[in-house]
Amino acid sequence: MSCRWIPARELSIAWGDNPSYWKWTRHASCSSEVAELLNVCWLDITGRVDRKELRVGTRYSAFLVFKLRDRTKCLEKAFVSLNNEKTKTVFLDVNQENINNNNNNDGPLILPHRRSDDWSEIKLGDFFNGSGDDGHVDMMLFEKIDGRWKSGLIVRGIDVRPSNNSDVLNAPNINWFDCPDIDDGDAVLHKINGYNDVASTSSGPTTDHVTIRMCLVLLFCLVFFLLCLVKSHTSILVLFSLMFFFLSVAFFG
Mean pLDDT of 151-156: 97
Dihedral pair phi/psi, residue 30, rounded to 5°: -150, 155
pLDDT in tens, 195-246: 233 233 334 454 455 566 677 667 767 766 676 676 666 666 666 666 666 6
| H helix count then E strand count, the chain | 3, 14
Biggest distance spanned by C-alpha atoms of the chain: 119
Question: CA separation (Å) from 160 to 14, 38, 127, 138, 209?
Answer: 21, 26, 10, 11, 57
Which range has the worst mean pLDDT, 24-38, 44-58, 178-192, 196-210?
Answer: 178-192
User: Closest Cα to residue 37, out of 92, 111, 102, 100?
Assistant: 92
The pLDDT score that the predictor gives to residue 85 is 87
pLDDT in tens, 73-105: 999 889 999 998 889 999 998 775 666 666 555
pTM: 0.63
pLDDT band at 27 (very low <50, low <70, confident <90, very high): confident
Paired with 179 in beta bridges are 188
Please say whether the dihedral angle defined by the alpha carbons of residues 12, 18, 21 and 27, taken in this order, is positive or negative. Answer: positive
Give the separation between CA 220 and CA 204, rounded to whole angstroms. 24
Question: CA separation (Å) from 244 to 113, 135, 220, 221, 222?
Answer: 76, 77, 10, 11, 14
